[in-house]
Homo-oligomer: A and B are copies of this chain.
Amino acid sequence: MQRMGRRRSRFLRKPIEPFAVTAGLTADDVLARMERISFQGRNLATARRIWEKMLGSDATIFMGAAGALSAGGMRLIIAHLIEHRYIDVLVSTGANLYHDLHETRGRRHFLGSPQLDDAALAAERIDRVYDTLASEDEFCKNDEWIAAFVLKLERRPYTTREFLYKLGEYLWKETEHVGILTAAYRANVPIFCPAISDSSIGMGLSQARHRDQTAGYIDVIGDIVESANIVIRKPSTATIVLGGGTPKNFINQASVQAEFYDDRVGGHKYAIQIVTDVPHFGGASGSSLEEAQSWGKLSIESEKVTVQADVTLAMPILISALSTTVGDALAKRKRIEFDVSGRHLVVNGHVLPDRYLES
């Protein structure tokens, strides 16, 4: 064994520890044992440790949410992450916010199957998202509800950040139900929705416009300015991407655009992505975290992990474990504080002006 020790390559330091089956393990135990296995199991375990480091650092944590996460039962996880400030900024597709609103308003999504007959579903006005169903009529009522809300707003352009705050506020006052939008409203956490026009929230806005051509103006360029300015308010940032899509790139772009304001910005310092897309077709959703380093989206020294998995499979175990071990780090966290309620975003007491100056 002495000889083996000498012969052993520098590459062969840390052995794989086969996962040992024990009845009654907690999610935390399971994930701890997965740290010494291979492939995506190990990556998920690593994601928990990197997230803990994010929370123990002074980084502002962006989370991106794409894919049918709210319809698929992930919305209360995201609401929990907002409420307990595992994250500081949410960037979401419109669909995730819309399906959240649908359930916060007391409507439901339903268990279905990918083998269902879509012609039969269409005949009954049921919309299918893979194995999940919803009522088209209820969706139409949501659209009207959103349009009615939009028509109550003062006639001026709104960043998605401001608009979604007001939507969350209105929703909370009407329902007092927990969800993503209402949790963000209550926790003063900004939500950006860069592709809002590609969603049913956008459809609700367009229906308001139909009734009043001065209504429904969204200032998506203002979102870029704000997100970049959030980046420069703290020495470091982190990104947690669920599912890729526009949120992934928007968070990376915030870091790149921040260099326009302050060239000391050097990319996110921590990165987790849980995606099913792959790098080799060139699309942004599947792009590797290494590639992001070439752009300066991620720091060259960043701690990072990609988990190639469906979010609905990875997140329940990841968050069940993380929530068990992270209490202290959350309590001690020196986190960024927002006032999201107004036209101008307030960050740590500092009003971000319309025309941005140096940080």
Contacting residue for A209 out of B16, B200, B225, CB 8 A: B225
Known: A111-B36, A119-B300, A194-B195. A130 touches B280 (CB 8 A): yes
Contact A73 B112 (CB under 8 A): no
Contacting residue for A129 out of B34, B38, B80, B209, CB 8 A: B38
Cβ of A313 under 8 Å from chain B: yes
Closest chain B CB from A191 CB (angstroms) = 14
Closest chain B CB from A178 CB (angstroms) = 10
Stoichiometry, copies per complex:
4
Cβ of A71 under 8 Å from chain B: yes
Cα-based distance from A66 to B276 in the complex (angstroms): 17
Contact B110 A12 (CB under 8 A): yes
Nearest opposing residue in chain B for A25, CB measure: B320
Interface digits, A85-112 against B, CB 8 Å rule (1 contact, 0 not)? 0000000000100000001000011111
Cβ of A339 under 8 Å from chain B: no
Cα-based distance from A36 to B354 in the complex (angstroms): 44
Contacting residue for A194 out of B103, B114, B129, B198, CB 8 A: B198
Cβ of A33 under 8 Å from chain B: yes
Contacting residue for A216 out of B129, B212, B221, CB 8 A: B221
Interface centre among A7, A278, A324 (most CB of B within 10 A): A278
Known: A210-B356, A280-B308. A38 touches B124 (CB 8 A): no
Closest chain B CB from A319 CB (angstroms) = 5
Interface centre among A28, A39, A277, A284 (most CB of B within 10 A): A39
Cα-based distance from A110 to B17 in the complex (angstroms): 9
Contacts of A279 in B (CB 8 A): 114, 130
**Segment of A54-62, A167-175, A232-240, A245-253 engaged in the interface with chain B:** A245-253
Contact A327 B23 (CB under 8 A): yes
Cα-based distance from A309 to B274 in the complex (angstroms): 12
Closest chain B CB from A148 CB (angstroms) = 15
Contacting residue for A218 out of B72, B220, B246, CB 8 A: B220
Contact A320 B21 (CB under 8 A): yes
Contact A12 B118 (CB under 8 A): no
Cβ of A314 under 8 Å from chain B: yes
Contact B38 A73 (CB under 8 A): yes
Cα-based distance from A51 to B315 in the complex (angstroms): 23
Q: List, sorted by A's number, 5 A–B pairs whose CB atoms are closer than 8 Å.
A: A18-B103, A118-B290, A122-B295, A197-B250, A212-B355
Contacts of A124 in B (CB 8 A): 9-11
Contact B309 A310 (CB under 8 A): yes
Cα-based distance from A318 to B42 in the complex (angstroms): 15
Closest chain B CB from A298 CB (angstroms) = 9
Interface digits, A193-207 against B, CB 8 Å rule (1 contact, 0 not)? 011111110110111
Contact B243 A246 (CB under 8 A): no
